[in-house]
Chain A
Amino acid sequence: MSDDLDRCDVAVVGAGVAGALIAYRLAAANYRVVMLEAGPAGRNRQDLVADYSLAAIKTPRSPYADNQPSSPVWSPDSEKDYIQLGPSPFKSTYLRRVGGSTWHMLGNMPRHVPADFRLATSYGVGVDWPIDYDDLEPWYCEAETELGVAGDHAELNGLHGAYRSRAFPMSKIWPAYGDIFVAKAVEGLTFEGADVRVLTTPQARNSRPYDGRPACAGNSSCVPICPIGAKYDATVHVSKATTAGAVLRTQAVVTRIELDSMTRRVSALRYTRWDEQGRRDERRLRADIYVIAAHSIETPRLLLISSDSDAAPTGVANGSGQVGRNLMDHLQGQMAAVVPQPLFPYRGPPTTVGVDTFRDGTFRASHAAFRLSIGNDGMGRVETPFAALEQKLVEGLIGSRLRVALGDRLIRQFRISYSTEMLPSAHNRVTLADAVSDSFGMPRAQLSLHLEDYNRLAFEKAAALISSIFDRLEIPDSDRKPQPKDTYSGAGHIIGTTRMGTDAGSSVVNQHCRAHEHDNLFIVGASTFPTGGTANPTLTVAALALRAASKISSLLQRGS
């Protein structure tokens, strides 16, 4: 298909995992697909790793020169990069480049559990999804195969009712030395009447060569980049899509969704191609079906920017007023410690096991479900190896005394983090900062967030659980570093903002991710989740995208 094409069957906005999977499936089915991606394709992986090695602080954005503030598609790297309306900060980030935010994700790939789809019915909080676990289960299997998820089928089959009809395509990633030590130490532990068991985490990193990519070698830098491509990132499906015939236009920022004022169908996408020399080229793309896969902040931003006085006065797909609302994350914290026995961290993937016990239970009526991740990366942000070095130098140690004392501390550093579910709330939202535009003249997003007792209480519960694990490890109080009260970090899981539902009056898309109001418009990604559960979102994003691709394919076949 030629690159100057201005009409295709399916136009996809965003070449992250959601957009790339849809582009791949539909191109493979012989539809003419064009992907418009705001960011660049970027340099090769080795150069990115080199930049990572030089960066003073290894933040998620550090390897990506293309996404630094000098770039027109600079990407947020901390809460300071957002316009925050408060009262609480939103702390999760994303990347704008081919492959999207999967470049710097960790790669944990748990499924949601059945009750996550029925929070309102089961516990009287949040909302229900218009689909349930049974609807998504076959698509979870497909997503695990596409992304390449390594996991322990027998151990995870039936977790909180989440049955598995197919084994993982790869056996589990081996737990680390320290994980095995901790799992033994907690054997028999109960907390609030429930058995605390350490389970392996399903992960999109190869435990053997898979899909043309090598096995994980334990480089331990998954966030922000896997040097060898053992961890899945969406460049895998972008290149599968283009091999199948899809056209990828990079450095192509969609600035407006245009509507036909009579039919209210999407009639075109307006986009700007940019280059490093500052040139800008305005273009239009027409398609039969349009897919917005720009992730949970850029998607509502684009929908709101595209408001049209006739066809969509409050924004595209926003008749319900829900576009931008219900912004969620998994609010996290951690407890760090220096353990009496060596655990030998900084080797292998940053986490390979966790505690899934509190991902569901009747307590969800009053506080958030949470998942614990047992870390394999020392004390995380609480005390980096460099901070430990500084401390030993200040103590005046040198020579073999420095080597031994520093080593002794580093091999005993440890952390367990918790990740809590937020409830959807209309006042947690993305809106447009009308007075502040980006270099394409598009109003920037601004974020509002409120920390609720539902999460505060879960923070306390999770901290108490971790304390009881620390007791089993016989860690003295003086060697424990708790998370300061009511503080949190982001998980990178940006959820909500274009929720799915059956009722067009209270949701943006239907159960197939199709906009209620514009029948040739699909919106995919974690923005469609009505509630967040405790699973890292990308597997569910992938499962929903594959399901939407199948729906789009059947619509195109029928010629509607």
Chain B
Amino acid sequence: MSKFVTGYSDIGGELEQLYATIMSSKPDWASELASLAIAVDEAKANADPEAALMATIKQQPEVGHAARRLAHVWYAGRLSAENGVDAAFVSEEAYFGGLIWRAARAHPPGLSGGYFGHWRYAPDV
């Protein structure tokens, strides 16, 4: 489900376990995620599953909310803002592993893994 919602097929591992633990500890997430799981299964039966899920999201606020929360935690590495206040990052790994930096074809500030001058060229990916 995370892979489908984020658009990244290679995610998983320790971060997935960490996020699963956090979500299961929050009662309001459980029912939402169950609805999202059903919606994802149904969407997969369509020729364009993503478009189908996006249509469901528009019609069913609960599914939309769950999809946004799930995508947010994977992309940002933190839970969605509550009451307009930015949440802290879930863990160091969550911050450094946020998909947002992959989407930007960059790296999280604080960890480039690069060499001097790499910024002079367009990213490889």
- Indicate, yes or no, whether A interacts with B: yes
Q: Which of A234-242, A320-328, A344-352 is found at the contact surface with chain B? A: A344-352
Q: Which of A21-29, A174-182, A480-488, A503-511 is found at the contact surface with chain B? A: A174-182
Q: Chain B contacts of A348 at CB under 8 A? A: 118-120
Q: Chain B contacts of A386 at CB under 8 A? A: 76, 86, 100
Q: Which of B4, B58, B67, B92 contacts A54 (CB 8 A)?
A: B92
Q: Are A399 and B53 in contact (CB under 8 A)?
A: yes
State in angstroms the CA–CA spacing of A402 and B67 once bound together. 11
State in angstroms the CA–CA spacing of A52 and B54 once bound together. 35
Q: Which of B14-22, B25-33, B103-111 is found at the contact surface with chain A? A: B103-111
A contact face: mostly helix, strand, loop, or mixed: loop
CB distance from A533 to the nearest CB of B (A): 29
Whether A219 touches B106, Cβ cut-off 8 Å, given contacts A56-B86, A386-B100, A401-B50, is no
A-B contact count (CB 8 A): 156
A125 CB-CB contact with B under 8 Å: no
Whether A345 touches B120, Cβ cut-off 8 Å, given contacts A217-B115, A227-B111, A398-B7, is no
Q: Which of B5, B108, B111 contacts A399 (CB 8 A)?
A: B5
- Which residues of A approach B to under 8 Å, CB–CB? 49-50, 52-58, 174-177, 180, 207-208, 215-221, 225, 227, 342, 344-349, 376, 385-386, 389-390, 393-394, 396-404, 406-407, 410-411
Q: Are B104 and A410 in contact (CB under 8 A)?
A: yes
CB distance from A203 to the nearest CB of B (A): 13
Chain B 54-113 interface residues, beta-carbon cutoff 8 Å to A: 54, 57-58, 64, 67-68, 71-72, 75-76, 78, 81, 85-89, 91-92, 95-96, 99-101, 103-113
Q: Are A177 and B121 in contact (CB under 8 A)?
A: yes
Q: Chain A contacts of B75 at CB under 8 A? A: 389, 402, 406
State in angstroms the CA–CA spacing of A394 and B54 once bound together. 11
Whether A180 touches B120, Cβ cut-off 8 Å, given contacts A49-B110, A347-B112, is yes
Across the two chains, which residue of chain B brings its CB closest to A63? B110
B35 CB-CB contact with A under 8 Å: no
Whether A53 touches B103, Cβ cut-off 8 Å, given contacts A398-B53, A399-B5, is no
State in angstroms the CA–CA spacing of A404 and B102 once bound together. 11
State in angstroms the CA–CA spacing of A57 and B106 once bound together. 19
> Other CB < 8 Å A-B pairs besides A393-B68, A399-B6, 10 of them?
A54-B92, A56-B86, A56-B88, A175-B120, A219-B109, A344-B106, A344-B122, A347-B123, A385-B100, A398-B6
Q: Are B103 and A407 in contact (CB under 8 A)?
A: yes
Q: Chain A contacts of B81 at CB under 8 A? A: 390
CB distance from B101 to the nearest CB of A (A): 7
Q: Chain A contacts of B111 at CB under 8 A? A: 219, 227
Q: Are B120 and A389 in contact (CB under 8 A)?
A: no
Across the two chains, which residue of chain A brings its CB closest to B75? A389
Q: Chain B contacts of A219 at CB under 8 A? A: 107, 109-112
State in angstroms the CA–CA spacing of A72 and B9 once bound together. 49
Q: Are A407 and B104 in contact (CB under 8 A)?
A: yes
**CB<8 Å pairs between A and B, sample of 9:** A53-B89, A54-B92, A56-B85, A174-B119, A217-B112, A348-B120, A389-B76, A393-B72, A410-B103
B13 CB-CB contact with A under 8 Å: no
Q: Chain A contacts of B95 at CB under 8 A? A: 53-54
State in angstroms the CA–CA spacing of A87 and B119 once bound together. 42
Q: Chain A contacts of B116 at CB under 8 A? A: 174, 207-208, 215-218
Q: Which of A57, A345, A393 contacts B71 (CB 8 A)?
A: A393
Interface centre among B57, B107, B114, B116 (most CB of A within 10 A): B116
